[in-house]
Amino acid sequence: MEKIFKIVFMALAVLSIPIGFFVEHEHAVFPWHRIPSFEAIFGFFGTFVFIFATVLLSSFAQKKEDFYD
């Protein structure tokens, strides 16, 4: 059951990008709101940047095993 939810979620996440090209953005407040699927693409790449930064910073923040000895 959990695997089905993951598949459905990923399918909907992937489909949200092409669907954004067919939705009209009438009341765009900022210029980037007029770009189709900008929020979805920005969130997708922003997630990878966040994960990469976390991995990079955690390599500096880790202490050795005998730090408290």
**What are φ and ψ of residue 43, in 5° steps?**
-65, -35
Instruction: Give, in order, the Cα–Cα distances in Å from 40 to each of 6, 8, 18, 31, 66.
Output: 18, 17, 10, 16, 44
Q: What is the pLDDT of residue 22?
A: 84
Q: What is the pLDDT of residue 69?
A: 62
- 10 in a domain, yes or no? yes
What is the chain's mean pLDDT, rounded? 86
Question: How many domains, in total, are found in the chain?
Answer: 1
Specify the residue for token string 């765009």.
Answer: 28
Q: Which domain does 33 fall in, by range? A: 2-61
- 20 in a domain, yes or no? yes
Percent share of the chain, pLDDT over 90: 30
Q: What is the pLDDT of residue 48?
A: 94
- 14 in a domain, yes or no? yes
- 68 in a domain, yes or no? no
**pTM for this model (two decimals):** 0.62
Query: Which residue intervals of the chain are DSSP H helices?
Result: 2-19, 38-61
Interval 26-51: pLDDT, tens: 787 888 888 888 888 898 899 999 99
- 25 in a domain, yes or no? yes
